Amino acid sequence: MTGARDVKQVPFAADAIRDEVVHHGVAVVRNTPISAQDFIAFLRGFGELMFTAGETPVQGSEDSNLVTNVGRTAPPKSVFHSDTTYVSRPPSITGLMAVDVPQKGGATLFRDQYSAYDLLSLEDKSLFEGAEILHGVSGIEPTEGSETECWHPLVRTHLETGRKSLFLTTPARCVALRLCDGEDASDRIADLYEMSIARATSSMNIWSAWDLLFWDKRCTMHAADHSAVIGDRTLYRGMVQGEAPVGARCDV
Ligand SMILES: [Fe+2]
């Protein structure tokens, strides 16, 4: 990706990781050989973990799920998104642990959604204050009884930094956009998404053995670059349960 900075490297310390991800979205810890169980135990220090219904758990570490290209006949598809936004309390901090790193390709890409909000015109900032998006599930089979859709503020205030960001995911999962006055503005979803991909501050992690990658899903979108991967790419993922997203309230 052109113009994307490398993700900042931080020490393997919870305070340093949390500080970097809440303010700048993403942080990487290099060359840290730990077990899947220890990785998940460390992640639990950031809060209660959650597991997305329909994902494949890691054997022996059932709070984490498997992300891999092994056994696939075609490269996985990945577009910029934030995960599991269709539930009332979407994940906050996520961790990915390198298991098998490909010889080439397979970077994880990020778009900073604080900067996406800052890019809105003053008119749009006013228009979208208090607006909500209906997030819906797609692409996986949720288990019976699990949540499949939820309204969340488009302009989200981060509880730890107090900063505003756009809270979007792939348009396939953004079912509707409703303004404060009740007007439907769903036709703006694609534009908002494209703007936030094309113009927001970007960063990327080119995977090395024993990398631990952490990011804040409340203020970033991410994607995997599967375009020219050579070799096995296997990662273990754990997610911390976040709070119900907070935004401006509409005067009614
Ligand atoms: Fe994801």
CA of 87 to the centre of ligand 1 (A): 15
CA of 203 to the centre of ligand 1 (A): 15
CA of 53 to the centre of ligand 1 (A): 14
β-sheet bridge partners, residue 29 = 212
CA of 250 to the centre of ligand 1 (A): 30
CA of 10 to the centre of ligand 1 (A): 22
Q: Please tell me the distance from the alpha carbon of residue 241 to that of residue 67, in angstroms, as a whole number.
A: 19
Q: Please tell me the distance from the alpha carbon of residue 58 to that of residue 66, in angstroms, as a whole number.
A: 6
186 φ, ψ to 5°?
Answer: -60, -25
CA of 29 to the centre of ligand 1 (A): 19
Tell me the pLDDT tens digit for each residue of 59-103: 888 889 999 999 988 877 889 999 999 999 999 999 999 999 999
pTM higher than the cut 0.85: yes
Q: Please tell me the distance from the alpha carbon of residue 38 to that of residue 212, in angstroms, as a whole number.
A: 12
DSSP code at position 81: B
Give the pLDDT band of residue 2 (cuts 50, 70, 90): low
Instruction: Give me the helices (H) in the chain, please.
Output: 14-24, 36-44, 113-118, 122-128, 189-199
SS3 103: coil
Q: How far is CA 134 from CA 106, 154, 192, 214, in A?
A: 31, 9, 15, 26
Tell me the pLDDT tens digit for each residue of 134-174: 999 988 877 888 899 999 999 999 999 999 999 999 999 99
CA of 144 to the centre of ligand 1 (A): 22
CATH architecture of 5-241: 4-Layer Sandwich (3.60)
- Give, for 224, the enclosing helix (H) or strand (E): strand 220-224
Q: How many helices (H) and strands (E) does the chain have?
A: 5, 16
Q: Where are the domains of the chain?
A: 5-241
Residue whose C-alpha is closest to residue 221's, from 110, 134, 115: 110
142 φ, ψ to 5°?
Answer: -65, 150
Contact in structure between 161 and 74 (CB atoms under 8 Å): no
